[in-house]
Amino acid sequence: MNIRILIVQGHRNTTGGNPAEMAITPLAARAIQRELIAAGHQAEMLQNEADWFPGTLDDVGREVVRRFDVQPYDLMLDVHFEGDANNTPGVFAIVPDGDGLRTVSPYRGSDAWATNTLDQQYAVAIAEEVATSTGLGLRRSGVKQPGVMSERQTGVGSKGYRLAMFGYTAAVRHRMVRLVLELGNIRGDAAIIGADGFYKRAAAGVVAGIDRVLGGKSLSVRSRVLSRQ
């Protein structure tokens, strides 16, 4: 089984962010796109060929929904690297958990942790498989379980606000799993991230995580070739 994925490059828009993070995010996002396509999935990139989206973060959120309305996605993967003040190491995925948090894009239904069960499954599987494929640890502090963080545990959520990417995309949560993936800490995991082949290994972990949720039924390019022989 193959799914349709929209990859978003964190901070690669006019709202911006940490320059060190912004510099390497395209390498991870493009590697993930290549590996997903090689595994037979449909993987689109929100940013243009220059790895840039010419609008604000709010515009990014609206653009995800606009594209979903043209042709739905099964998964949105918002790719980041962590850069917290404590240099906390480890890979983790953030799951929507927004009920009661303030947002400019309120959602009528519930977008609570307990309602986002498939998002949780993808978060666990992708974080664990990326840890295995890269040698990154699973983040263990400020998380629900190793490698899985609630939106409320983020710097934004703990101040009482929704992550914009989750606020805007709540409107399509009935179909689309939404994750923010933090592929290690820029400083705390610098040696691992800087090693040759890191991005390809991280991408292979993402594919393996998705395959785990789908029950290992993803049809790889290799098995397609073999089945034609």
Q: Which residues of the chain form contacts with Zn ion (CB under 5 A)? A: 10, 80
Beta-strand ranges (E) seen in the chain are 4-9, 42-45, 75-82, 92-95, 148-150, 177-185
| Alpha carbon distance 201, 136 (integer Å) | 11
Least distance CB 85 / Zn ion (angstroms):
14
Least distance CB 17 / Zn ion (angstroms):
5
* Residue placing its CB nearer to Zn ion in the complex, 84 or 99: 84
Token duo for residue 199: 């991005």
CA atoms within 13 A on the CB side of 60: 28
CA atoms within 13 A on the CB side of 26: 12
Least distance CB 137 / Zn ion (angstroms):
19
Exposed / middle / buried, residue 184 (Cβ in 10 Å: 0-12, 13-18, 19+): buried
**Got the DSSP string for 59-83?**
HHHHHHHHHHHHS--SEEEEEEEE-
* Residue placing its CB nearer to Zn ion in the complex, 80 or 139: 80
* Residue placing its CB nearer to Zn ion in the complex, 28 or 208: 28
Least distance CB 212 / Zn ion (angstroms):
25
Q: Which residue is nearest to Zn ion (CB)?
A: 80
Least distance CB 61 / Zn ion (angstroms):
15
* Residue placing its CB nearer to Zn ion in the complex, 11 or 201: 11
Least distance CB 80 / Zn ion (angstroms):
3
Which residue has 């043209």 as its token pair? Answer: 70
| Alpha carbon distance 119, 78 (integer Å) | 13
Question: Residue 37 contacts by C-beta under 8 Å, 6 or more apart in sequence?
Answer: 43
Residues forming beta bridges with residue 91, ordered by sequence position: 138
* Residue placing its CB nearer to Zn ion in the complex, 10 or 147: 10
* Residue placing its CB nearer to Zn ion in the complex, 180 or 213: 180
